[in-house]
C-alpha cells in the first residue's frame, strides 16, 4: 500500500501572486477561508484552520508580525517568529496556502494610510494600547485585499478585536464573512497565547488567576448575582489573593459591544487584561 | 432601416446586487471600468465614461452625494441632484451600469469607520476643508468594495483628491488601477464643475480669473521664470485685478505631490482655490 501523499502547503510572499492564487480557486467554484495570524502558532490558531477547513473548500493562512499594531514600548522585536515550525504546523493541519508577505511590500516608502473604526476601538484595549486597533484594522484590511477570501476566521480571545474587525467589515462593505471561534485553553484553564512562552513557571502559575477569576464570575452570576460591581470586586479579590498579577482592567460589557453593563440583565462578556511580570495577557468569557 | 437599438443602462441600488453584477461580467472575461461621481454630471464626468469605455469592456458609474465629505457649513443639502437627467446622460454615453446606493445602506446605524491617508491629505484642500479627504477616502474605498472594477477613473480637476485616492489604493493593496483624466473646460477656459451652476452671470465672468491666472503662470514659466514666489504674486495680481474672487490658496507643488516647489526646476502642478460669491471653486494646471 503506498504511503499517503504528503499534504502540500504553498508559501506565497508576493501580493499579486497571492491574490491571483485565491481568485483562481474561486473561479473554479471553490470557497476560500482565511486565517490571518502573526505566526508563533498554537492550538488556538490551528482551531481556526480547522474551522475554516470545515466550512470552506480551501484554507489560506497568513503569517505577518505587523509592526503597526505594536506600541513603541511593546514586544514587536522580541515577538516569537518560529517560521519553519509554523509552516510545518499549517502543513500538518491541512492548510493549502500561506501568505508570508515582506514588510517592505506591506509598508513601502511613503506609506501613510490608517483606518479608525470609531467608538468600538476606544475603551479597554484601545485605551491600554494607543494606536493598536488602528494598526490592526489597517493590516486586516490590507490582508483581506491580498487574500480576497470568502470567510475570515478570528479567535474570541481577542474579543474587542473581533468587534473592531466586524465593525470595519460592515462599515466598509467588505465582501468577506467574519467568523469568530471559541477560545482554546490549556488543561489548567490558561487561554492559549503566543505570549505565554514569555512566562516563567512561577508567572505561568500566577497567570491562571485570569481564567480563574472569569470562572468565578460565571459561577456567581449563575447563582444570581446581577451587580457588575460585586462581580468585579470578587474577581479582583481572587486575583489579588494569587498575587503577582497587575490588573489593567476588568470589563463587564453587554455581549457584542464595548459598553459597560452595570446590571447583568442580559448576555455579557467579561474581559480582563493584566500584566504578569512583563508579559501582558488578556482573557474573556461570554456569559448568558 | 431600423432605428439603432436604444442602449440600455441598468440602475442598481443594492450593494450585494452591484457586486454580483460586476463579478458576473468579470467571470465572463470582461474588464470593468468604474466612474464614481456625485451626479450633477457635466462633460467632465462624461469624458471619464469615455475613457473607461475606451479601456474597458464595460463601464459602471456611481451616483452618490456623499454626506461625509461635506463640512457642516458646506453645500451638502443644496448640492444639485438631477438624477433623471444624469441617468439619461449616462445612457447616451454608453454606460452599462449605474450604482445609486441608498445613504441608509452606505452609512447604517452604528457606522464608525474612517480612513486617514496621512500627509498627502493634510495641506491645501485638507486644511481648507477639515475632514473632507477622510470622507472622500472612506467613500471611495466603500464604492470600490461595492463595484470591484478593474480600473477607476478620476478627473484631474480634483488634483489632490487623485493623490489621496492613489495613496490609499497603494497603501491598502487595493486591486484596482486608478486612472486620472484631464480637466475639461468650457470654451472660455472655466473648468467644468457641478458647482458652476451656483454662479450668477457676473460671478461666472469673474470666475474666469482662476483659469486665466493658471494660463499666466504657464506663460511666465515658459518664458523662464523659476521663482514660485514671483509666479504666485503675478497670479494673485491678475485675480485681484478682476475682483470679486477671494483666493484661499495658490499652491505651486512638485507634480504628483503636495510639497511646495520654491524653485520651479522640474514638473509642477499649480492649484488654486477661491470663493466667487458663496461658491467655492478649484482649478489646476500641470506644467513641465
Point out the residue among B15, B114, B120 whose CB comes nearest to the CB of A112. Answer: B120
Cα dihedral across residues B76, B82, B84, B90: positive or negative: negative
**Do B175 and A113 lie within an 8 Å CB cutoff?**
no
**A93 has pLDDT over 90:** yes
Q: Give mean pLDDT, residues A202-212.
A: 98
**What is the rounded average pLDDT of the residues A187-215?**
98
Q: Does B27 touch chain A (CB under 8 A)?
A: yes
Confidence band, pLDDT 50/70/90 cuts, at residue A234: very high
Give the start-end residues of each E strand in chain B: 10-12, 32-37, 58-63, 97-99, 114-116, 151-155, 177-181, 245-254, 268-276, 279-287
pLDDT at B138 over 60: yes
> How many degrees, rounded to 5, is the angle at CA B228 between CA B224 and CA B234?
80
In angstroms, what separates the C-alpha of A33 from chain B's closest C-alpha?
19
Q: Among B12, B15, B36, B45, which one carries the catalytic annotation?
A: B45
B147 touches chain A (CB under 8 A): no
pLDDT exceeds cutoff 60 at A1: no
The angle at the Cα of A51, spanning A47 to A53, to the nearest 5 degrees, equals 115
Q: Residue A163 has what pLDDT?
A: 98
Query: Which residues in B lie closer than 8 A to residue A171 (C-beta atoms)?
Result: 111-113, 142
Q: Do A115 and B113 touch (CB under 8 A)?
A: yes
> Within a 10 A sphere around the Cβ of A182, how many other Cβ atoms?
12
B45 an active-site residue?
yes
Judged by a CB distance cut-off of 8 A, whether residue A119 touches chain B is: yes
Q: In the predicted model, is pLDDT for residue B47 greater than 60?
A: yes
Beta strands at B268-276 and B151-155: parallel, antiparallel or unpaired = unpaired
Choose which CATH entry (3.55.50.30, 1.10.8.60, 3.40.470.10, 3.40.50.620) describes domain B10-181.
Answer: 3.40.50.620
Looking at the complex, does the CB of residue B258 fall below 8 Å from at least one CB of chain A? no
Grid coordinates standing for A174?
A: 467588505
Which of A113, A120, A146 has the CB atom closest to B117's CB atom?
Answer: A113
**Closest partner residue to A113 among B108, B116, B145, by Cβ?**
B116
CB nearest to A112's CB, from B19, B146, B167 = B167
Contact list in A for residue B257 (CB cut-off 8 A) is none
Task: Calculate how close chain B gets to A95, using CA atoms only, in Å.
Answer: 24
- The Cα B158–Cα B180 span in angstroms is 10
- Spatial distance between the Cα atoms of B191 and B183, rounded to a whole number of angstroms: 7
The residues of A that are catalytic are 45
Whether domain B194-283 has CATH 3.40.50.150: no
Nearest CA in chain A to B169: A113
**Interatomic CA distance for residues A80 and A106, integer angstroms:** 20
Q: Which three cell numbers stand for residue A218?
A: 460565571
**Does the domain at residues A194-287 carry the CATH identifier 3.30.1300.10?**
yes
State yes or no: pLDDT of B7 exceeds 70: no
Is the model's pLDDT at B4 over the cut of 70? no
Give the residue extent of every domain in chain A.
10-181, 194-287
Look at residues B138, B136, B40, B48 and name the one whose alpha carbon lies nearest to residue B93: B48
Q: Residue B137: its chain A contacts at CB < 8 A? A: 113
Residue whose C-alpha cell reads 464608525 in the numeric block: B112
State the virtual CA torsion across B38, B41, B43, B46 in degrees, nearest 10.
Answer: 70
What is the Cα–Cα distance from B46 to A11, expressed in whole angstroms?
44
Q: Which of A182, A183, A181, A247 is nearest to A210 (CA)?
A: A247
Q: Is the Cβ of A173 closer than 8 Å to some Cβ of chain B?
A: yes
Q: Helix, strand, or coil here: B48?
A: helix
Question: Scanning every residue of chain A, which has its alpha carbon at the shortest distance from the alpha carbon of B115?
Answer: A115
Residue B73 has pLDDT above 90, yes or no: yes
Kindly state whether B140 is in contact with chain A, defined as any CB-CB distance less than 8 angstroms.
no
Nearest to A142 among B110, B120, B173 (CB): B173
By three-state DSSP, how is residue A58 classified?
Answer: strand
3-class secondary-structure state, position B250? strand
Q: Do B172 and A146 touch (CB under 8 A)?
A: no
Q: Is A207 buried (19+), middle (13-18) or exposed (0-12) by CB count in 10 A?
A: buried
Q: What is the pLDDT of residue B2?
A: 54
The CA distance from B268 to A227, in Å, is 65
Please indicate whether, in this complex, the C-beta atoms of A114 and B116 are within 8 angstroms of each other: yes
E strand map for chain A:
10-12, 32-37, 58-63, 97-99, 114-116, 151-155, 177-181, 245-254, 268-276, 279-287
Average pLDDT value for residue range B17-22: 98
Where residue B6 falls among pLDDT bands split at 50, 70, 90?
A: low
Residue A145: closest CA among A9, A48, A23: A23
Binning pLDDT at 50, 70 and 90, where does residue B142 land? very high
Identify the pLDDT of residue B258.
Answer: 98
Query: What chain A residue is nearest to B14 in terms of C-alpha separation?
Result: A173
Asked whether the predicted pLDDT for residue B185 surpasses 70, the reply is yes
**What does each C-alpha distance from B5 to B61, B91, B97 come to in angstroms?**
21, 12, 17
Mean pLDDT, chain B, whole residue set: 96
Q: How many CB pairs under 8 A join A and B?
A: 79
The complex scores an ipTM of 0.94
Interface test with B, best of A24, A68, A112 (most B CBs within 10 A): A112
Amino acid at each position: 500500500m503506498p504511503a499517503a501523499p504528503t499534504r502540500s502547503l504553498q508559501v506565497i510572499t508576493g501580493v499579486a501572486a497571492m491574490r491571483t492564487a485565491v481568485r483562481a480557486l474561486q473561479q473554479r467554484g471553490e470557497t476560500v477561508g482565511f486565517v490571518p495570524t502573526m505566526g508563533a502558532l498554537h492550538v488556538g490558531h490551528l482551531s481556526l484552520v480547522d474551522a475554516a477547513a470545515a466550512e470552506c473548500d480551501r484554507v489560506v493562512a497568513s503569517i505577518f508580525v505587523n509592526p503597526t499594531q505594536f506600541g513603541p514600548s511593546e514586544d514587536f522585536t522580541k515577538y516569537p517568529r518560529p517560521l519553519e515550525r509554523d509552516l510545518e504546523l499549517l502543513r500538518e493541519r491541512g492548510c493549502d496556502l500561506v501568505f508570508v508577505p515582506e514588510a517592505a511590500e506591506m509598508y513601502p516608502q511613503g506609506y501613510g494610510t490608517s483606518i479608525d473604526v470609531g467608538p468600538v476601538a476606544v475603551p479597554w484595549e484601545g485605551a491600554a494600547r494607543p494606536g493598536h486597533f488602528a494598526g490592526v484594522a489597517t493590516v486586516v484590511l490590507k490582508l483581506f485585499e491580498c487574500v480576497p477570501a470568502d470567510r475570515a476566521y478570528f479567535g474570541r480571545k481577542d474579543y474587542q478585536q473581533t468587534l473592531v474587525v466586524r465593525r470595519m467589515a460592515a462599515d466598509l462593505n467588505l465582501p468577506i464573512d467574519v467568523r469568530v471561534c471559541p477560545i482554546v485553553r490549556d488543561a489548567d484553564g490558561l487561554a492559549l497565547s503566543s505570549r505565554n512562552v514569555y512566562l516563567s513557571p512561577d508567572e505561568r502559575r500566577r497567570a491562571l488567576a485570569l481564567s480563574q477569576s472569569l470562572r468565578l464570575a460565571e459561577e456567581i452570576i449563575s447563582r444570581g448575582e446581577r451587580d457588575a460591581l460585586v462581580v468585579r470586586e470578587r474577581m479582583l479579590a481572587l486575583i489579588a489573593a494569587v498575587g503577582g498579577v497587575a490588573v489593567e482592567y476588568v470589563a463587564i460589557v453587554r455581549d457584542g459591544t464595548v459598553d459597560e453593563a452595570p446590571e447583568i440583565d442580559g448576555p455579557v462578556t467579561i474581559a480582563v487584561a493584566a500584566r504578569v511580570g512583563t508579559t501582558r495577557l488578556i482573557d474573556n468569557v461570554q456569559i448568558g
